[in-house]
Structure 1
């Protein structure tokens, strides 16, 4: 079968579950992964033939997509901040909004990092995407990363090796931590922040496959991780140290109040590309 003809079947089989943009995205992600071809390559090779084995491989992916399995888990990897990352059901799939947080940290601290180096702690590292991207782009920094999940840390370690950066990984429950043992110039976290009441807004591919422990918090204590991390930051940030969070879009004001309560200064709440309150930074003096 010609691949250009199979594309019609691919789109038809998935049209009841995904919109046209998503299906198009899936197709070209798979085209590159399976055949190392981009959109233009297919246009230039209209007679590209699928072998029976390759046809079976495509159909296997279609079957999994019909079950709403995320394509990143199907392929076992994704890209974040221009870097490749292994992903699996033990880790959240990195999001574009988190790339914005990483970009903010790098731009704010690049000059300081060049002159002095930085000690950075990523709390709830998951795939390691934040810690690794920071280590890659702030090469003089010493980067540490904490997670409660040993399986997530194993994936993060593989990703650090894949991207050739040195990260100190720590297996630790932040909610059971009384002291972080050393001073840091930057503490960053993208902790669980989706309230159970917001599950109705979550797509099936996220709800059924991504780890709930990394996503959800109780409705009556949605800031439990933020409060604990902020409290620890007051003990373990260096003078003028910075605390960065990715946040629940509905709780921006509450996050500003929390940082004010703990005497943080120069607090800035930023929106993401979708115009949602998504990240906040405070300086501890």
Structure 2
């Protein structure tokens, strides 16, 4: 079959589950992954798919029709210009988290230290610690996660991107003490079960619930614990950064009351939702 003809067939099939713009995006991602071709190459070349190639395309299409995220189909995602392996044990990196990382990098570069000691809590794919290690030359980065499977992926991503990160297999909720750090960052689970109605099917069906959801009755348990650790073990003048639940911004800020952590800023993400908090230890 001619690839241009197959494109029409591929996109028409996907229109049953996604909008046209996303269907086109999926086609061109698959074009790059399967054929190592760009959009312009498809215009300039006539390509006839072999039986083997057609079977590969059909395999991708069948997975996408189940609403499996394309990042999981190809086991690959991009974050802050870097390539990361992802699988069912790790969340897909989000643009909102890129905004958080950009904020951290800007903050660090405005306040040079001989060496920044950075702790990331909730490693996942490793997108936060790996990106910080890649972009902050004078940083020693540590990252912890309760999931051994996620840590395996994060270690591969650190190696792939040529950075050194120390990974700890540790449950922060059971952690009593940590080393002294200059900066702690976390994007912990924060989606309440009552918010599942807002979550897309491809997220609910495929991304790890351990990394997404918290009990409705105690949605800030990770933030509370990490705030306690930051209050006790951040160096004077140290920084705490959170990605937060947009509906619980005020409740999250209230956790800093009666601590040495002073809220310096609450920021919205690109969609206008309350999403990031920065506090500094006095």
User: TM class by shorter-chain length?
Assistant: over 0.9
Choose from 117, 127, 130 the match for 1:129.
Answer: 127
1:274 correspondence with 2:271 = yes
Structure 2, unmatched stretches of 5+, are none
Judge conservation of contact 1:248–1:277 (CA < 8 Å) in 2: yes
Q: Give the CA deviation at 1:219.
A: 0.8
Mapping 1:191-202, distance limit 5 Å: 191-202=188-199
Q: How does 1:131-280 map to 2 (within 5 A)?
A: 131-180=129-178, 182-280=179-277
Aligned length: 282
Q: Deviations over 1:126-150 (max 9, x none)?
A: 1110000000000220000000001
Partners of 1:3 and 1:50 within 8 A in 2: yes
Two-structure CA RMSD over aligned residues (Å): 1.1
TM-superposed deviation, 1:111: 4.1
d(CA) in 2 for partners of 1:175, 1:21: 42
Give runs of aligned pairs for residues 102-121 of structure 1, distance below 5 A.
Answer: 102-113=101-112, 115-121=113-119
Deviations 1:233-283 (A, max 9, x none): 011100110000001111111112222342322421101111111111000
In 2, Cα distance between the equivalents of 1:262 and 1:216?
27
Q: Give the 3-state SS of the residue equivalent to 1:30 in structure 2.
A: helix
1:83, distance to aligned residue in structure 2 (A): 0.5
Name the TM-score, length of structure 2 as normaliser: 0.97
Which deviates the most, 261-270 or 5-14?
A: 261-270
After superposition, the Cα gap between the structure-2 partners of 1:2 and 1:282, relative to the gap in structure 1 and judged at 3 Å, is: same
SS in 1 for 2:270: coil
For 1:43, the equivalent position in structure 2 comes to 43
Cα-to-partner distance string for 1:181-207 (whole Å, 9 max, x where unaligned): x11010000000000000011111110
Secondary structure at the counterpart of residue 206 of structure 2: coil
Q: How far 1:12 sits from its partner (Å)?
A: 1.1
The reply to whether residue 81 of structure 1 matches residue 80 of structure 2 is yes
Query: What does 1:22-33 correspond to in 2, within 5 Å?
Result: 22-33=22-33
Query: Do the aligned partners of 2:263 and 2:277 also contact (CA within 8 Å) in 1?
Result: no
Helix, strand or coil: the match of 2:137? coil
- Deviating beyond 4 angstroms after TM superposition, the runs of 4 or more aligned structure 1 residues are none
Match of 2:63 in 1: 64
* Partner SS state of residue 116, structure 1: coil
| Residues 256 and 267 in structure 1, CA contact (< 8 A), matched pair in contact too | no
- The answer for the alignment partner of 2:21 in structure 1 is 21
